[in-house]
Each structure stands twice: as C-alpha cells, then as structure tokens.
Amino acid sequence: MRKGVKINPENKSTKNEDGNQDSKSNFYYALGHKIRRRIIELIGENGFSSFTVLKKELNVSTGTIYHHLDTLSTLIKQKSDKKYYLTELGIRAYDSIRSNMGSISFDISKKDFNSFLLKGLMHLTPKRILVTNSKPNLLVIIFSLMILILGGIFCALNGLFPFFLLFGTIPEIPYAPLFNFLFFIFNFFVFFCIIEAICRIFYKKKGSSIEFLSTFSIIFLPSVLYLIIHYFFLALMIIEFTFIGIFDNIIMIIFQVWSLWLLTYSITSYKRLKIENSLIISLLLHYGGFSIILMLSI
C-alpha cells in the first residue's frame, strides 16, 4: 500500500504569512526613497511612462533609474510596447503616495521662508484642503461652490467684471449685473483650463485634474472678500473719500497677492511642479490679465 505524503497545514500557513510579510516589506521599502516615489507618481499620473520621460523628469543617471526600476519590480512592469505600467500593488502604492502627499512627498509647508510676507501667507494657506486626495471632499466642493456664487453676486453688485484674478469695469450694457455674475463663473473655468493646459503641454503634468478643479475656486476667496469690502464702502457712499479710496486699493493689492500665492501653492500641490515654476505661471497669467484689463480701459 502506497503511503501518501502528509502536508502540515501549519507549514503552508507559515509560508503564506512569510510571503505577505515580504510583500509588505517590499511595498514600504519602495516608498522609502523619493526617486522611487516619484517614478510611481509619474507612471500613476499618466497611466504609463517611457524610460525617456522618466529620464527627463528625474534628471538622474541612467544607471540610477534602472536600479530603482529593478527595486520596484513588484510594483512596476514593462510591457511589450516598452512602456512601464503599475501592477496592482503599484496602484496601491500610488494611492498611498497621493493620500499621504503632505507627509511623505511634498514638503512645501516646511520650507524655510525668511520673508515675513511668505510666512504670513503660509498661515493663510488652507494646506489641509489644497492637497491631493483619492477623491474630492464633498464639504470642500460645497465651500468652493459658495465662493463662486458669492463672487458672482458681488461682481454684479459692484458693477465689476473679473479677468483672471483682476477686476475691471465695462460700459453700461443691458443686463450688466447678470453679465457680471455669469462672467465670474465663466472666468473661473477659463482660468482653470488655461492653467491645466499649460501644465499638460509644457510640463507634461496630467494628474490630479479633478481634485485641482474641485478646490480651484479657493484661490478666488481673497478676491471675493475684497468684493464684499468694496461693496461695503460703496453702500456707505464713502468710497469717494481719498483715504478710503487709497485704503480700498491697498486691500485690493494685498488680497491679489494672497490669491496669487494660493494659486502658486495649488499648482505646486496638485501638479507637482517646483514652486518657482508655479510662481512663473501665476505671475505670467496675472500680468497678462493686467495688460488686457489695461487695454480695455483705454
């Protein structure tokens, strides 16, 4: 009689546990280096990536990239088209990086700002809102919609139409208040689309667009606060006083700087650009908008 081989279920269980431990160990080891995290992000943002793109974005030697790709072998696979894709474990790693962006991969809030102005702006930045999450937050979306509605209402009440983060006046036209209200909403979407296009075309940043859009109106919060203050001066009929007029202009400039900072921070946070590149985009669009407003007023 042939004797069967008895399998110890405890040994089988132990092997499974060891495999799970190894998988977890590889997972956390992969996330422990900024270059490996960046590789996962680049592939996750676009769905795939070529070696050329990785080389351009990482700006490190070819050998370094191959070393990290080899380390990420359980998270990244190269298919027949020579492109790199995330495995199921890699997708989990990408989601983990996105949900923990503020603590493991994006350290803008800890930069050493010597400028008193920038330190103050950092205190006025809703850093917990302007971060990449797995899905947009409903309360944040409601808050963003309130900003849009209030902005449109006070543009109508003040007789101002927005252009990017600036405001101008137009000749009397029929239904001017309605036009100004709708133009505020229109300006919001146009401004977002221009920034999104710049990031995609010039910087190849395609990720986090939905999250970026869901909080984009927050950059208009300082502008809306200014519109409310300006309407208060108009309602009290004190805007014509020289001191009040100067004070109103000072508030407008300060709040525009605040909005520009929120825009810069948002671009850096969602599109993963260097802060200087985000600042260039913000300033170029702002000065472009200023030039157009100036030409329209002549």
Between CA 123 and CA 199, with CA 109 as vertex, the angle to 5 degrees is 110
Predicted pLDDT of residue 259 = 96
Token digits of residue 199: 């990031």
Contact 63, 70 (CB under 8 A): no
| Positions in the chain short of pLDDT 50 | 1-7, 12-16, 18-19, 102-107, 109-112
Predicted pLDDT of residue 1 = 46
Segments making up each domain of the chain, as ranges: 18-105, 109-297
Give the up-direction half-sphere exposure of residue 276: CA atoms within 13 A in the CB hemisphere.
Answer: 0
Predicted pLDDT of residue 121 = 78
Predicted pLDDT of residue 102 = 46
Cα of 227 vs its chain's centroid, Å: 25
For residue 108, give the nearest of 258, 264, 260, 253 by alpha carbon.
264
Predicted pLDDT of residue 100 = 61
Token digits of residue 182: 């709708």
3-state secondary structure of 248: helix
Predicted pLDDT of residue 101 = 53
Predicted pLDDT of residue 160 = 93
Predicted pLDDT of residue 146 = 97
Predicted pLDDT of residue 42 = 86
CATH number of this structure's domain 18-105:
1.10.10.10
Predicted pLDDT of residue 74 = 87
The rounded distance, in Å, linking the Cα atoms of 148 and 155 is 11
Token digits of residue 98: 């996105």
Predicted pLDDT of residue 108 = 52
Strands 166-168, 84-86: parallel, antiparallel or unpaired by DSSP? unpaired
Contact 259, 220 (CB under 8 A): yes
What is the H or E stretch that residue 40 is in? Answer: helix 34-46
Predicted pLDDT of residue 21 = 56
Secondary structure letter of residue 81 according to DSSP: T
For residue 166, give the nearest of 295, 275, 265 by alpha carbon.
295
